[in-house]
Structure 1
């Protein structure tokens, strides 16, 4: 009887091995790129900026903690000035929040200069004195609550900070 049991166990093991050899796993990875051959706004180390960041809320009157990241503008033409603006006002809007929740305005700055929907110019001679060829100096990009302090309605707030970075076509 044990002889039959051993043969059956061996047959089962061979069948499993045969089935696992035929099984396959397919892995699909979606890749994408947003390409502008003239300019890139990246972290100071040349890696991509995060797609999302959390502004941490500090109860007790402190409000939202600012978020800061050192960035550089990478370009193939360091002789041209660069303009930077917001595509739209930066605002945290209540998504899932208590009734009465209001949008919370944000202030965005680059290298200590407040950004708005009107473009401001960064002079090429000031920007591109970097040790990295084709890269600007490292500059702090900062997002913060416009009026720091208590937010009175609990909930989930979200918004988009959309920066528009362009080479000034009029500079030499």
Structure 2
């Protein structure tokens, strides 16, 4: 009888182990990277810029509150100048808005210099006098409503501010 009891106990243990193995939890994490071995545009502390920011609307004629973040350009060659431009005009488009809603033009600047789709040059000598090796000075990146004031149609507006940062062939 004891032999049968041992076999039954073994069978129960095997079933329990089998059930435990089938009840495992799997966690999946998508990992991605956008790599340019020459340049990176990051927050001043070296962390990634946010993928999305909210421009807060202030009723009463004030319009959209500006958004600003201190950034640095990280590079493998502090002797080369850097050009910066917008890939396309910065615009908020009405996605889900009242009939008649119009686009809202945005103004973007880096270190106080207005950006548009034409590249502007930042001289290496002006950028890379930093305490962080391979990093530029901290510079404010700012996005704001081009013409401040009331937006007359309620709704959800969205757009993309796409910056193109490139390393020049050499200093000028």
Q: Distance in 2 between matches of 1:90 and 1:125?
A: 29
Q: Give 1:19 shift.
A: 3.0
Partner of 2:39: 39
- For normalisation by structure 2, the TM-score amounts to 0.89
The corresponding residue for 1:88 is 88
Partners of 2:73 and 2:136 within 8 A in 1? yes
- Provide the secondary structure at the position in 1 that maps to 2:148: coil
* TM-score, normalisation: structure 1: 0.89
Task: Give 3-state SS (helix, strand or coil) of 1:69's partner.
Answer: strand
2:79 is matched with 79
**Which blocks of at least 5 consecutive residues in structure 1 are unaligned?**
1-14
Residue 169 of structure 1 and its aligned partner are, at CA, apart by: 1.1
Question: How far apart, CA to CA, are the structure 1 residues paired with 2:137 and 2:158?
Answer: 30
Q: Does residue 123 of structure 1 match 2:113?
A: no
Q: Secondary structure at the match of 1:130?
A: coil
- 5+ unaligned residues in a row in structure 2: which ranges? 1-14
Please give the alpha-carbon distance, in whole angstroms, between the structure 1 residues aligned to 2:160 and 2:147. Answer: 18
1:26-51 CA deviation, whole Å, 9 max, x = no partner?
11111000000000000000000000
Contact 2:79–2:170, Cα closer than 8 Å, also in 1: no
| CA RMSD of superposed structures (Å) | 1.9
| Structure 1 residue matching 2:126: 3-state secondary structure | helix
